[in-house]
């Protein structure tokens, strides 16, 4: 999906230069509204941690997840605190599988509840901060994802406390007088809907096995979005109803009300964003026609990392219709894998696109999640700018990094 008009993108490209991230606030608000049935929506900010988007989330009553000290600082900068909201949900929760020393100090200083993915974390936190609020992230023994790299369950995943260690985790909670908030499960990203019943059943089973009172359960994130034309959109009401049934069963088993959290990243922001690039060269290489744009995998890593598909459209500089041509879209990096049209395993694919000419703009769709947040400085390319469109208004929410800023880190 591309929420923007061609004219707007042309004018933003002209004002701010390319490559450029452009996000649409209305799309984010709509995606939040889709999930309003859940008691708590906790945004997994790893998908996009720009503080301006976090502020937008906060205005909509969304709380946040943080997975590093940096993400805790981002949440604080956006006005979040760890204090509970009206539903009793903490504004920030820290989720990880280990606690480094500096992060341990940060969660203690800001009293951020910790969603623990290992028993060692519970001992380290308990020794430093007895009585701290904790969640237990459980690996139920299976997982799913849009790629092996985004499957976070089962015995090949480093994530979560293995389900048979639930007893050891509860013992650590008790030993240190930690305050158990709830159980959490996130079995992967881009999860096929058909697995949902299995996940809900695993959560009910875990709660019964734990046999302790809980304020809340978390369904994790993982909701997919339609990256390809014609792909069905997830039925969020059905998604909620399955989780709500699990919550009711858990509450009736425990004999007290239980809050239901959801922790989406991609679902809230992916469709709001595009990566705007300029075509700078084209060439025929054997049977392949390469269209070379000024963004690379240092900006949007998903195709190179997962063989992920992103829709594309071309804004012809002359406004004229173009014939369709099978094209491979590639970036400027000095690496063969710097191709936006590829399949898993790095197979270069060509795609039917309007024939591109130098000076055209290429719009890469559904890039609002795991786009900017996964960018790097590879090939010493500065991070690119981000713009937020809100109705008739638009504003720069991150300026372009400079090469001088990169070099400054090395002035030691
Ligand atoms: N909760 C936890 C504990 C997670 O690890 C993640 C994602 C989420 C929530 C949010 O998942 P989502 O709703 O966005 O699927 N870079 C990959 C995705 C990696 C996700 C890592 N954890 C991609 O671009 O597809």
ipTM of the shown complex = 0.99
Measured in Å, residue 49 CA sits from the centre of ligand 1 at 13
The 10 Å CB-count burial string (b at 16+, else e) for 373-407 is bbbeeeeebebbbbbbbeeeebeebbeeeeeeeee
DSSP 111: T
What average pLDDT does the chain have?
97
Q: Write down the pLDDT at residue 112.
A: 98
Nearest to 217 by CA among 185, 239, 190: 185
Class for the domain spanning 36-263? alpha beta
Pairing outcome for strands 273-285 and 288-293: antiparallel
Class for the domain spanning 271-408? mainly beta
Q: Which of 23-27, 173-177, 231-235 has the lowest mean pLDDT?
A: 231-235
Nearest-angstrom CA–CA distance, 163 and 141 = 7
Over the stretch 319-377, which tens digit does the pLDDT of each residue have?
999 999 999 999 999 999 999 999 988 999 999 999 999 999 999 999 999 999 999 99
Show me where the domains of the chain are located: 36-263, 271-408
Over the stretch 120-143, which tens digit does the pLDDT of each residue have?
999 999 999 999 999 999 999 988
H/E segment holding residue 279:
strand 273-285
Residues near ligand 1 (Cβ within 6 A): 44, 46-47, 95, 150, 152, 186, 189-190, 220-223, 263-267, 302, 369-370
Q: Do domains 36-263 and 271-408 have the same CATH topology?
A: no
Question: For a substitution probing ligand 1, which of 152, 265, 366 has the most ligand atoms within 8 Å of its CB?
Answer: 265
Neighbours of 120 (CB within 10 A): 13
Assign 201 a pLDDT band (cuts: 50, 70, 90): very high
Over the stretch 56-65, which tens digit does the pLDDT of each residue have?
999 999 999 9
């Amino acid at each position: 999906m591309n929420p923007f008009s061609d004219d707007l993108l042309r004018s933003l490209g002209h004002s701010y230069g390319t490559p450029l991230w452009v996000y649409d606030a209305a799309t984010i608000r709509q995606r939040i509204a889709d999930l309003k049935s859940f008691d708590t929506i906790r945004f997994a900010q790893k998908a996009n941690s720009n503080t301006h988007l976090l502020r937008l989330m906060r205005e909509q009553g969304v709380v946040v997840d943080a997975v590093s000290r940096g993400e805790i600082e981002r949440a604080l900068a956006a006005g979040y605190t760890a204090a509970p909201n009206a539903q009793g949900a903490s504004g920030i929760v820290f989720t990880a599988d280990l606690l480094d020393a500096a992060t341990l100090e940060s969660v203690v200083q800001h009293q951020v509840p910790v969603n623990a993915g290992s028993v060692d974390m519970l001992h380290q936190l308990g020794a430093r901060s007895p009585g701290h609020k904790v969640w237990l992230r459980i690996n139920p023994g299976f997982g799913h994802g849009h790629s092996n790299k985004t499957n976070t369950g089962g015995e090949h995943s480093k994530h979560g406390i293995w389900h048979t260690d639930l007893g050891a985790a509860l013992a650590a909670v008790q030993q240190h007088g930690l305050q158990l908030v709830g159980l959490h499960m996130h079995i992967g990203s881009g999860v096929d809907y058909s697995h949902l019943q299995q996940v809900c059943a695993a959560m009910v089973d875990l709660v019964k096995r734990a046999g302790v009172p809980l304020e809340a359960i978390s369904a994790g994130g993982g909701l997919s979005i339609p990256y390809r034309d014609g792909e069905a959109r997830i039925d969020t009401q059905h998604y909620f109803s399955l989780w709500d049934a699990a919550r009711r069963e858990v509450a009736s088993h425990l004999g007290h009300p239980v809050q239901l959290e959801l922790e989406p990243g991609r679902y809230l922001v992916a469709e709001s964003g595009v990566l705007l690039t300029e075509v700078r060269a084209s060439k025929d290489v054997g049977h392949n026609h390469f269209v070379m744009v000024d963004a690379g995998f240092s900006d949007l890593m998903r195709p190179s990392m997962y063989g992920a598909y992103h829709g594309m459209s071309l804004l012809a500089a002359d406004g004229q219709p173009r014939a369709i041509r099978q094209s491979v879209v590639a970036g400027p990096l000095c690496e063969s894998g710097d191709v936006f049209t590829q399949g898993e395993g790095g197979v270069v694919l060509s795609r039917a696109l309007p024939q591109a000419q130098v000076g055209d703009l290429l719009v890469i769709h559904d890039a609002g999640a795991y786009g900017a947040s996964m960018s790097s400085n590879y090939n010493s390319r500065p991070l690119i700018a981000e713009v937020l469109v809100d109705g008739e208004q638009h504003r720069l929410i991150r300026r372009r990094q400079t090469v001088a800023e990169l070099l400054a880190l090395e002035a030691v």
